[in-house]
Amino acid sequence: MSEVINKATLAKETTGVLAGLTTGQKNEALLVMADALRQEAPSIIAANAEDLERGRKAGTPESMLDRLALDVSRIGAIAEGLQQIAVLPDPVGDTLEQFERPNGLSIEKIRVPLGVIGIIYEARPNVTVDAAGLCLKTGNAVVLRGGSSALSSNRKIVEVLHTALAKTSIPAAALQLIEDPNRSSVDEMLKLNGLLDVIIPRGGSSLIQNVVMNATVPVIETGAGICHTYLDAGCQPEMAERISVNAKAQRPSVCNSMETLLVNREYAARHLPALAEAFRNVNVELRGCPETVALIPWAVPVTAEDYATEYNDYILNVRIVGGLDEALRHIAEYSTKHSECIVTENAGHAARFLQEVDAAAVYHNASTRFTDGFEFGFGAEIGISTQKLHARGPMGLPALTSCKYIIRGTGQIRG
């Protein structure tokens, strides 16, 4: 039996126990897990250092190493996410609908766990904890398959969490990590119907498309983030600079960072050079359309391919547009339907943007960096769904549930 089948089977065997746990038992386990992460932070950081060293030797870009890196502060934030999940309402068992039929049947629709969730992700060891916390809180077992670049970190984190779970009502076997770094382990998970109930990919476009195109297990699709910010005519320069620089440079390696800045032509003539200097001060390379390059001679000419690229780096496309209509057309062509923003004082333009842009999260006068389960108050997130079925946007606890109907009768039969 392969590692994938063995661990998925072990996870499946816990689903009956998980379904019977009380909210209090699950919350207690999450708090024990959080305490264990803090206590074992030095050993987790030591394991993470092994991954970082391998990454540097392999020439991994610094922006991607940043996604991988753990320190005491980040581990503390990850543990805090578990604590936040613990205090959130438990959706399992919630009554969604209740009604009675003319024949006297009482029908109740309630939330239930999905079952066993497979998560396939890249160099983000925080996902290991976020996924475990959200899945276990909703009574789901979870099978994790992280990227090989984070294997030492993930292995140590799961070891710490297993030790913690052994002291709780949640079976440690409900949390499984696939350690086989070969592509074949991913391919095997994609076909594991009967053991996995759903697969959620988190990572770059190639990973997500591989899962979507090849899985026979149902998939909740998360998306790459080619995110845009549009600076409208008459927007406040200080606000525009603050939002734009934050959206690009606060943490460029993540999916909700901005990749293209669209600037109204009237606004650009007066304010784009100063805004460009703000980007240069934080080491952002600008790639601009011809009008942009005319205003900012040090900008690199942009290509159509650039507009379709998720950089995850200190690189930003800048395009000057004639107005809202042109901005909307550009976003419709290049957006990955993740997060899009307009900075404007024009209420009508804001309303049009919020209504017409087809994305999971649409912003008015706020950075796209807020598209995050932690920032939305979900404690953490299992991913950011860019699809439209079942779940969309940051996926918190309710997104990890399905439903079933409970029908109570008094002897009715169908004639």
| Per-residue confidence (pLDDT) for residue 202, from 0 to 100 | 86
What is the pLDDT confidence band of residue 385, given thresholds at 50, 70 and 90? confident
Tell me what the mean pLDDT of segment 268-279 comes to: 97
Rounded Cα distance, 207 and 212, in Å: 9
**What is the bridge-based pairing of β-strands 106-113 and 95-100?**
antiparallel
**pLDDT digit string, tens, across residues 108-121:** 999 999 999 999 99
Using the predicted structure, report yes or no on whether residue 69 has a pLDDT greater than 80: yes
Count CB-CB contacts under 10 A for residue 120: 25
Tokens encoding 3: 């590692």
| Per-residue confidence (pLDDT) for residue 185, from 0 to 100 | 95
**pLDDT digit string, tens, across residues 290-340:** 999 999 999 999 999 999 999 989 999 999 999 999 999 999 999 999 999
Least reliable range by pLDDT among 54-63, 69-78, 263-272, 290-299: 54-63
| Per-residue confidence (pLDDT) for residue 99, from 0 to 100 | 96
Q: Phi, psi at residue 108, to the nearest 5°?
A: -130, 130
Using the predicted structure, report yes or no on whether residue 273 has a pLDDT greater than 90: yes
Using the predicted structure, report yes or no on whether residue 346 has a pLDDT greater than 80: yes
Count CB-CB contacts under 10 A for residue 64: 16
Rounded Cα distance, 204 and 217, in Å: 20
| Per-residue confidence (pLDDT) for residue 254, from 0 to 100 | 86
Please provide the DSSP assignment of 7-72 as one string: HHHHHHTTHHHHHT--HHHHHHHHHHHHHHHHHTHHHHHHHHHHHHHHHHHTT--HHHHHHH---H
Rounded Cα distance, 154 and 123, in Å: 10
Q: What proportions of the chain, in percent to the nearest 5, are helix, strand and coil?
A: 45, 20, 35
| Per-residue confidence (pLDDT) for residue 389, from 0 to 100 | 77
| Per-residue confidence (pLDDT) for residue 222, from 0 to 100 | 81
Amino acid at 101: R
219 within 8 A of 229, measured Cβ to Cβ: no
Please provide the DSSP assignment of 76-96 as one string: HHHHHHHHHHHHSPP-TT-EE
Rounded Cα distance, 317 and 252, in Å: 13
**pLDDT digit string, tens, across residues 202-246:** 877 788 889 999 999 999 888 778 999 999 999 999 999 999 999
| Per-residue confidence (pLDDT) for residue 67, from 0 to 100 | 83
Closest CA to 353 of 345, 256, 275, 110: 345
Closest CA to 305 of 331, 326, 334: 334
Rounded Cα distance, 174 and 211, in Å: 23
Across the chain, what does the average pLDDT equal? 94
What is the pLDDT confidence band of residue 381, given thresholds at 50, 70 and 90? confident
Contacts of 2 (CB under 8 A, 6+ apart): 185, 188
Using the predicted structure, report yes or no on whether residue 379 has a pLDDT greater than 80: no
Tell me what the mean pLDDT of segment 350-362 comes to: 95
Q: Which is higher by pLDDT, 343 or 381?
A: 343
User: Looking up tokens 């005319």, which residue turns up?
Assistant: 294
Tell me what the mean pLDDT of segment 346-362 comes to: 96
| Per-residue confidence (pLDDT) for residue 392, from 0 to 100 | 86
In the chain, % of residues over pLDDT 70: 100
Q: Within its chain, how far is the Cα of 301 from the centroid?
A: 31
